[in-house]
Structure 1
Amino acid sequence: MENITTEQLKARLDAGEQLHILDVREADEYAAANIGALLLPLSKLRQMDTEGIDNWKDEEVIVHCRSGKRSMEACMLLETMGFGKTVNVVGGIMDWQAKFGDAKIG
């Protein structure tokens, strides 16, 4: 697992990179505020459910949550399930909103 700051992530997105970004918060949190990442709650990942992202196993997967704790756990889980390159967003959506407001990805 690697780490990425919200500034680094935004810079990569602004440069036009096509990234696989995963939001591991719960559906109600996602509905309240999200940056447009694919939602796959940590509770599903803990059940080894990777439906919708199995084709990302050989790609970089950038994972975020509210503050960076659940995404760190999600990265470790994904690695045990064969995902080769996971990246944790330090500070999560709280840091993103503090720096960029409600800016969406893509």
Structure 2
Amino acid sequence: MSQIETITTEELQKKLEAGEKLALVDVREDEEVASGMIPGAKHIRMGDIPANQDSFNKDTEYIFICRSGSRSHNVCHYLQEQGYKVRNMVGGMMSWEGEVE
């Protein structure tokens, strides 16, 4: 099992504050994202990822987000096996202290 690259919530917040353009994907359920998502994140529920995998570009690195970091880890593992560049936000939204919208 190959290692999944990770990013901490603090690292992500610094990158966003520095104006970096990042491809963020929130894989939580609808009622979870209703309480706020990281600005700029795209919402694709974990269960909808396989059906949407054609919308991902293999040249882009995607950062996956969930509530605690475990669902996003599973999504990362799945997509990495399909040849996509992925990174998991460890700690998930429970650890996020930045802005939400």
Q: CA RMSD for the aligned pairs? A: 1.7
Specify the alignment match of 1:43 in structure 2: 47
Instruction: Indicate the residue corresponding to 2:5 in structure 1.
Output: 2
Cα displacement string for residues 22-43 of structure 1 (whole angstroms, at most 9, x for unaligned residues): 0000111111221231001111
1:63-102 mapped onto 2 (5 Å cutoff): 63-83=64-84, 85-96=85-96, 99-100=97-98
Q: How many residues in Structure 1 have an aligned counterpart in Structure 2?
A: 97
**Displacement of 1:81 after TM fit?**
2.5
Partner residue, 1:61: 62
Distance across 1 between alignment mates of 2:10 and 2:51: 30
What TM-score do you get using the length of structure 2 for normalisation? 0.86
Which runs of at least 4 in structure 1 moved beyond 4 Å after TM superposition?
A: none
- Output the CA distance in 2 between the equivalents of 1:21 and 1:53: 13
Query: Deviations along 1:1-52, whole A, 9 cap, x unmatched?
Result: 201000000111111110000000011111122123100111112xx21257
1:79 CA displacement = 1.3
For structure 1, the residue ranges without an aligned partner over 5 or more in a row are none
Over the matched positions of the two proteins, sequence identity in percent amounts to 40
Asked if the contact 2:5–2:88 (Cα under 8 Å) also holds between the matched residues in 1, the reply is yes
**Counterpart code for 1:50:** N
Q: TM-score, normalised by structure 1?
A: 0.82
Aligned residue for 2:27?
Answer: 24
Q: Offset of 1:53 from its aligned partner?
A: 3.1
CA deviations over 1:54-95 (Å, ceiling 9, x no partner): 2x3211100010000000001011112331x21000101110
Q: What is the alpha-carbon distance in structure 1 between the residues aligned to residue 52 and residue 8 of structure 2? A: 24
